[in-house]
């Protein structure tokens, strides 16, 4: 399939690199392609970024048949443009599509489209330390119909946003509220895929935790409120004694690319990594024994986010005296070094555009 390109006549002014924030600025162009039953995915095009017109009856607006991905492009010191394991995101997008009754995409073609779009807007990739170009592929259901059924038409789109350093003052541990009332996902539900409704459903717990002075929530399993699942929109790891432990992918947990990379990296350092069920009671118990060395979240946005404090049912524990742990720091340095092309990519994880 050809990708047609219509360049903008009015390039925007680039934002100040010192003050980018997350997801507030968008580049000059976007990618769109349509789906219909008779034509399949068709009409692939790069067009000027801008608002779109939709019918108020559009399916996605009512029943949330919508999916997305999140990845980043970096400019290396020697001016290469790098993506980090992008084929993983395309594969996950199709898993999400399957769960949400959305037709599969051609993973290779969509990755080509993303590369072409990033290349056209490459001047937008920020270069200040910690910055990157966030890539947001997403699919929406576009039938004009209020009956509840899978849409027969869709739009796949990609937009780009230059984003700032997640930690302008360096990596900083955050305070976490262990959520005992609301749950993020249940077995048989949609927690293992990136569909919009999961995030809408998580806002309430997040808002109440913020009101209590916490940065994120730690999610427990939806059946027993016993086993740890994720932290905010990140996967979670605990260093207990000399071992790194993370919840196993039991179906209600999102399989993060950063999670997978962290496991592989840490194993390559000769440190034992275990994927298993881990209860919140066990974590508090190990802390009491002095064996809980570190806790941190992993995800594309922050890469590594250390946990400095956990509050569960009114009891609060400090992890590593509220400071960033040595292993978290080491993983952060290595992963971001590989992503930005500043360190040797021993794993073949980066892909040059
Ligand atoms: C996207 C996401 C993650 C992290 O996945 P990465 O591929 O590492 O960015 C973890 N948990 C949830 C709920 C997510 O949506």
Both 213 and 93 in one domain: the answer is no
Shared domain check, 244 and 125: no
Alpha-carbon distances of 28 from 8, 16, 85, 109, rounded to whole Å: 7, 16, 25, 22
Closest CA to 92 of 297, 253, 264: 253
Measured in angstroms, how far is the CA atom of residue 299 from the centroid of ligand 1? 5
* Cα 298 to middle of ligand 1, angstroms: 8
Helix-, strand-, coil-residue percentages of the chain, each rounded to 5: 25, 30, 40
Name the residue at shortest CA distance from atom 13 of ligand 1.
Answer: 233
CB of 216 closer than 6 A to ligand 1? Answer: no
Distance of alpha carbon 133 from alpha carbon 121, whole angstroms: 10
Does residue 281 lie within any of the structural domains?
yes
Averaged pLDDT of the chain = 96
Overall number of domains in the chain = 2
- Domain edge (last residue) among 144, 163, 182: 163
Q: What is the pLDDT of residue 171?
A: 78
CA of 254 to the centre of ligand 1 (A): 6
The H or E element containing residue 96 is helix 86-99
- Atom index in ligand 1 nearest the CA of residue 92 equals 7
Nearest to 134 by CA among 24, 247, 296, 244: 24
Note whether residue 284 is domain-resident.
yes
Is 212 a member of any domain?
Answer: yes
Question: If 0-12 CB within 10 Å is exposed, 13-18 middle and 19+ buried, where does residue 322 land?
Answer: middle
Residues 130, 222, single domain; the answer is no
Task: Verify whether ligand 1 is closer than 6 Å to residue 67 (CB atom).
Answer: no
Ligand 1 and 197: CB distance under 6 A: no
Final residue in a domain of this structure, among 143, 163, 183: 163
Q: Is residue 334 part of a domain?
A: yes
Cβ of 252 below 6 Å from ligand 1: no
For position 211, what pLDDT does the model report? 96
Query: Could you tell me if residue 350 is inside a domain?
Result: no
Q: Which of 170, 172, 196, 166 is nearest to 22 (CA)?
A: 166
Determine if ligand 1 sits within 6 Å of the CB of residue 194.
Answer: yes
Dihedral over Cα of 184, 186, 190, 194: its sign: positive
Whether residue 131 is found in the same domain as residue 94: yes
Verify that 133 and 221 share a domain, yes or no: no
What CA–CA distance (Å, rounded) separates 286 from 278? 11
pLDDT recorded at residue 169: 66
Domain-embedded: residue 344 = no
The token pair that represents 339 in the structure block: 């992503």
Ligand 1 within 6 A of 131 CB? no
CATH code of 291's domain: 3.20.10.10
d(CA 33, CA 229): 35
* Statement to judge: residues 184 and 85 lie in one domain: no
Q: Is residue 23 part of a domain?
A: yes
In sequence order, what are the residues at sequence separation of 6 or more whose Cβ sits closer than 8 angstroms to the Cβ of residue 313? Answer: 178, 180
pLDDT of residue 162: 98
Q: Do 329 and 180 belong together in one domain?
A: yes
Each residue's pLDDT tens digit, 153-174: 999 999 999 999 877 666 789 9
Token representation of residue 215: 């940065």
Ligand 1 center to 44 CA (angstroms): 27
Ligand 1 centroid from CA 12, angstroms: 31
| Ligand 1 lined by 90 (C-beta under 6 Å) | no
Segments of the chain with pLDDT less than 70: 168-170
Of 86, 234, 261, the residue with max ligand 1 atoms within 8 A of its CB, to mutate for a pocket test, comes to: 234
Token reading at 171: 């990596």
Residues 59 and 207 in one domain: no
Domain boundary among 163, 196, 225: 163
Residue bearing the CA closest to ligand 1, atom 5: 256
Tell me, yes or no, whether 185 and 230 share the same domain: yes
State in Å: Cα 257 to ligand 1 middle. Answer: 7
Closest CA to 184 of 172, 171, 194: 194
- Residue range 244-291, pLDDT digits in tens: 999 999 999 999 999 999 999 999 999 999 999 999 999 999 999 999
278 plus 139 within the same structural domain: no
Q: What value does the CA radius of gyration of the chain take, rounded to a whole number of Å?
A: 21
Nearest CA to ligand 1 atom 12: 233
Alpha carbon dihedral 88, 91, 97, 102, in 10-degree steps, equals 130
Domain-embedded: residue 265: yes
In a 10 Å sphere around its CB, with 0-12 CB exposed, 13-18 middle and 19+ buried, how is residue 78 labelled? Answer: exposed
Residue 127, both tokens? 């270069």
On whether both 137 and 11 belong to a single domain, the answer is: yes
The whole-number pLDDT of residue 168 equals 66
Q: Determine the Cα–Cα distance for residues 159 and 25; give it in Å rounded to an integer.
A: 10
pLDDT tens, position by position, 293-313:
999 999 999 999 999 999 999
Residues spanned by the domain of 104: 4-163
**Residues 8 and 157 grouped into a single domain:** yes
Task: Give the model's pLDDT for residue 259.
Answer: 98
Q: Residue 74's domain is classified under what CATH number? A: 3.30.470.10
CA dist 275 and 338 (Å) reads 24
């Amino acid at each position: 399939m050809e990708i047609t390109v219509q360049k903008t006549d009015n390039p925007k002014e680039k934002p100040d690199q010192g003050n980018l924030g997350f997801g507030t600025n968008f580049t000059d162009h976007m990618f769109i392609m349509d789906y219909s039953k008779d034509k399949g995915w068709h009409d692939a095009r790069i067009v000027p970024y801008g608002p779109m017109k939709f019918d108020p009856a559009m399916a996605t607006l009512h029943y949330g048949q919508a999916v997305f991905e999140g990845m980043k492009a970096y400019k290396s010191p020697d001016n290469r443009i790098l993506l980090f394991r992008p084929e993983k995101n395309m594969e996950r997008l199709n898993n999400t599509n399957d769960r949400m009754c959305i037709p599969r995409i051609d993973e290779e073609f969509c990755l080509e489209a993303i590369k072409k779009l990033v290349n056209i807007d490459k001047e937008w990739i920020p270069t200040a330390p910690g910055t990157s170009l966030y890539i947001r592929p997403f699919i929406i259901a576009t039938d004009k119909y209020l009956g509840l059924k899978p849409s027969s038409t869709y739009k796949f789109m990609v937009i780009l946003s230059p984003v700032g350093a997640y930690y302008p003052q360096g990596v900083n541990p955050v305070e976490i509220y262990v959520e005992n009332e609301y749950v993020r996902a249940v077995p048989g539900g949609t927690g293992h895929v990136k569909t919009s409704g999961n995030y809408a459903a998580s806002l309430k717990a997040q808002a109440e935790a913020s009101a209590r002075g916490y940065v994120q929530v730690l999610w427990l399993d939806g059946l027993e409120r016993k086993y740890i699942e994720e932290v905010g929109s990140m996967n979670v790891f605990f260093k207990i004694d000399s071992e790194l432990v993370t919840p196993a992918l039991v179906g209600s947990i999102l399989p993060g690319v950063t999670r997978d990379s962290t496991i592989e990296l840490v194993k390559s350092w000769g440190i034992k990594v275990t994927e298993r069920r881990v209860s919140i009671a066990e974590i508090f118990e190990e802390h009491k024994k002095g064996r809980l060395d570190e806790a941190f979240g992993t995800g594309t946005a922050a890469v590594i986010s250390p946990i400095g404090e956990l509050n569960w049912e009114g009891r609060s524990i400090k992890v590593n005296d509220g400071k960033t742990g040595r292993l978290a720091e080491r993983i952060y340095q290595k992963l971001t070094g590989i992503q930005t092309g500043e360190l040797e990519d021993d794993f073949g994880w980066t892909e040059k555009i």
